[in-house]
Structure 1
Amino acid sequence: MRVALTEHTSRPWRIHEIAHDFEVEDVWALPTPGGPDDFGLLTSELATAGRPGENTAGVTRLLWAVRWRLGEILGWDRDDAGLQKRVPTLRDRLPDDLREAPAPALGELPFSPLYELDDEFAAELANATVHAVLHLSWVEDGDGGHRGQMAVLVKPNGLQGRLYMAAIKPFRYLFVYPALMRNYERYWQQATGGRVPAAGTVTGAVGVDRIPEPMRGPLRAGYADIFTLAADVTATPEHCARTMLEDVAGDGGQRIWRRVLGLRLAPRPWTDTVAGWSVAERDDHSIRLQARSWASTFNLVVQVEDGSITLATLGRHDRLLGRMVWSPASRIHRRLVPGLLRDTARKLRARADH
């Protein structure tokens, strides 16, 4: 998720004193939840996650291929346009303690490492269009956990550089950054496989293949996402689902489900339903809810197990309009679910305390 530039500029990073004449172009929250000492794991995955690989979407790989081909034709990446040729390296600005700091190998990435600290890493590149800095950091997420953060700082090379940055901006936001986030999420899950996340950490994934087989159920879903909050709460799945959808989502959720998605939900009182969603199945650890519209069918699966709360959303679209409506709505949905899970856990704990 893209975040405000102040998420970078307001923090006391060492890069401020080194790249003080660079512009902060973008700041992104990385899908890499972890503990306070996991920054080294993040930077060790940079060389792998940062390059377009075989799992990267074809459009993104094509854009990279076009970029490198144009660079060859127009001379953007020629040797005399790089570091120590067109511009001096920022290593010349490093104080002694940073100059001696180690930095990870970046493999095939076109960046040269500058330094790595316990919670901060920087690397640079230069070509005929721009001198850029990639900055990674490790920040608190506000809920007891930590995550990675990525900032891109740039110094365009005159008018040519500014035109170049403006031209590639929509492609970066539509294709390059989303592909990079997916890569980071994939490699982070591989690197941290089996580890118990810190309390308050939310992990998420998109894709039917990311849903455990028992949670998929009979619905032949075309869309699926799953979010898990590490939280030790005492509640049945139905109690958790009612807290989540009736207390937390409440009337606001009803308006979205009914008016935006067109779901046919049961009216109050919700005695035999959960916020109007019918109960398709339940067991000791999970409950499956279902709602339909004329265009789509959705399942919500709430699971409470092993010190965590999980919400899986699965959708099948029977008409094109349902798919068209859900495509932008799903982006908002994925941004709201982590907060929904955390608010649910807080309510459940508060009730348990009383």
Structure 2
Amino acid sequence: MKVALTEHTSRPWRIHEIAHDFEVEDVWALPTPGGPDDFELLTSELTTGGRPGDDTAGVTRLLWAARWKLGEVLGWDRDDAGLRARVPTLRDRLPDDLREAPRPELGELPFSSLYKLDDEFAAELANATVHAVLHLGWVEDGNGRYRGQMAVLVKPNGLFGRLYMAAIKPLRYLFIYPAMMRNYERYWQRATGGRGPSTGTVTGAVGLDRVPESMRGPLDADYADIFTLATDVTATPDHCARTMFEDVAGDGGQRIWRRLLGLRLAPRPWTDTVAGWSVAERGDHWIRLQARSRMLTFNLVVRVGEGSVTLVTLGRYDRLLGRILWSLTSRIHRRAAPGLLRDTARKLR
């Protein structure tokens, strides 16, 4: 789950005094619930990890393979483009206590450790495009629970570096980060035996005939899917929808709906909008959101029942191009929906 940059900048991490001239690019809450002493378990995943992309599949694996091949052909990852060649290592900035802190080896990951403390870890990477810092922290999540938090800090290499970062940003949000979160969740389940608060099982189906008529009503739809999370978390439909689309989906969701599909979403929050979507209807246990473009009309129905939260997506193709666009992006939506529901339950919990 992507969180606000202030979740990183407002905390007293030691990395602030080391990488003060770096930009905070992204901050993510990791699906790793635990206790106050579980940070060692989180960082141990890095020491045994393979090269990025080795443990992924499908489009994500292909993207990583393409990145490594481009780096090889264009020389982005040459030694003379890295640490102590193009840029000095941040280890030269470390105060004495951090210089003496442990530096775990990172397996095949292309990062070099900077330091590791009881609740904080940092590593750096440099190539022809960027000088970057990977930062992991262990933060209290309320009621004695803790979780991991990952921040990415960057210093692009001039105009070329900034153009490169801008070009790959949609790919990071649509493929790379979701794959990382799934890998972290699988690792954490294996490492902890599934302990920690459970968010329940998600069931899903695609097709108008799979969505109960009470949830689609008289809407004229060409596409429909339904995902239901079994959970003991309770909330009003409005609160659940706002947590799902404003707090959890955030900028990544906006990019899919607004930029890829051209949906006209409100630029500022209003009483009758949720994450830019118009509130079309409300019921005692549900809320329906709507957005349109020249090509598509979409409705999102969030229903809160006893022991479950359901998300229904209904789409109408107003132009042939809309059908083509959604056929290309619907797979991303269907893969993201279960995680979106789980993250919402975690946030509400």
Do they fold alike, i.e. is TM over 0.5? yes
Q: Secondary structure at the match of 2:104?
A: coil
Counterpart amino acid of residue 147 in structure 1: R
| 1:19 to 1:165, Cα distance in 2 relative to 1, 3 A | same
Q: 1:127 to 1:251 in 2, by over 3 A?
A: same
Distance apart, 1:339 and its partner CA:
4.7
> How far apart are residue 244 of structure 1 and its match?
6.2
The CA distance in 2 between the partners of 1:338 and 1:51, in whole Å, is 29
1:64 is matched with: 64
Specify the alignment match of 2:14 in structure 1: 14
Q: Secondary structure of 1:45's partner?
A: helix
Alignment of 1:201-350 (within 5 A): 201-203=197-199, 251=283, 253-256=285-288, 260=299, 302=307, 311=308, 327=334, 333-340=341-348, 342=349
**Cα deviations across residues 157-190 of structure 1 (Å, max 9, x unaligned)?**
1111111111111111110000000000000110
2:86 maps to amino acid: R
Check conservation: 1:130, 1:161, Cα contact below 8 A. yes
Matched, 1:141 2:141: yes
- Aligned equivalent of 2:257: none
In the alignment, the residues of structure 2 paired with residue 206 and residue 49 of structure 1 have an alpha-carbon distance, to the nearest angstrom, of 28
**CA distance, structure 2, for counterparts of residue 226 and residue 50 of structure 1:** 32
Given that 2:228 and 2:311 are in contact with CA atoms closer than 8 Å, whether structure 1 keeps it comes out as yes
Cα–Cα, structure 1 residues 168 and 157, in superposed 2: closer, same or farther, change >3 Å?
same
Q: Distance in 1 between matches of 2:116 and 2:19?
A: 15
Provide closer, same or farther for how the CA distance between residues 245 and 48 of structure 1 changes in structure 2, counting only shifts above 3 A. Answer: farther
TM superposition shift of 1:45:
1.1
- Tell me what 2:181 maps to: 181
CA contact (8 A) 2:287 2:301 kept: no
Matched letter for residue 159 of structure 1: L
Distance in 2 (CA, whole Å) between partners of 1:138 and 1:262 is: 35
Q: Provide the residue aligned with 2:114 in structure 1.
A: 114
Change (3 A) 1:41 1:260: same
Separation in 1, partners of 2:130, 2:160: 9
Given the superposition, is the C-alpha separation of residues 69 and 206 from structure 1 closer, same or farther in structure 2, using an over 3 Å criterion?
farther
Q: How big is each residue's C-alpha offset from its partner over 1:12-69, in whole Å with a ceiling of 9 and x where there is no partner?
A: 0000001111111110000000001110100001245674466523111111111111
Partner of 1:31: 31
> How far 1:336 sits from its partner (Å)?
3.1
Corresponding residue of 2:219: none
1:129 aligns with 2:141: no
CA distance in 2 between counterparts of 1:50 and 1:150 reads 18
Counterpart of 1:67 in 2: which secondary structure? helix
After TM superposition, the score normalised by the length of structure 2 is: 0.65
Gaps of 5+ in 2: 205-224, 241-281, 290-297, 318-322
Query: What's 2:320 paired with?
Result: none
C-alpha spacing 1:161/1:204, structure 2 compared with 1 (3 Å): farther
Partner of 1:35: helix, strand, or coil? coil
- The Cα shift of 1:104 comes to 2.3
CA 1:96–1:205 in 2, change beyond 3 Å: closer, same or farther?
farther
**Structure 1 pair 254–51 and aligned structure 2 pair: CA distance change class (3 A):** same
Q: TM (normalized to structure 1)?
A: 0.64
Residue of structure 2 in register with 1:291 after alignment = none
Alignment of 1:44-63 (within 5 A): 44-48=44-48, 51-52=51-52, 56-63=56-63
Give the aligned residue type for 1:254.
W
The unaligned stretches of length 5 or more in structure 1 are 209-221, 230-239, 266-274, 278-299, 303-310, 343-354
Greater Cα radius of gyration, structure 1 or 2: 1
TM-superposition CA deviations, 1:264-308 (whole Å, max 9, x none)? x9xxxxxxxxx8x7xxxxxxxxxxxxxxxxxxxxxx8x4xxxxxx
Letter in 2 for 1:164: Y
Equivalent residue of 1:255, what SS? Answer: strand
SS at structure 2 position matched to 1:141: strand
CA distance in 2, matches of 1:94, 1:41: 25
Q: Percent identity?
A: 69
Cα distance, 1:34–1:186 mapped onto 2, change above 3 Å = same
The whole-number CA distance in structure 1 between the counterparts of 2:161 and 2:238 is: 51
Tell me, in whole angstroms, the C-alpha distance in 1 between the residues paired with 2:113 and 2:230.
34
Across the aligned residues of Structure 1 and Structure 2, the Cα RMSD in angstroms comes to 3.9
Aligned equivalents of 1:141, 1:332: Cα separation in 2: 19
- Residues 168, 53 of structure 1: CA spacing in aligned structure 2 closer, same or farther, 3 A cutoff? closer
- Measured after TM superposition, the shift of residue 253 of structure 1 is 3.5
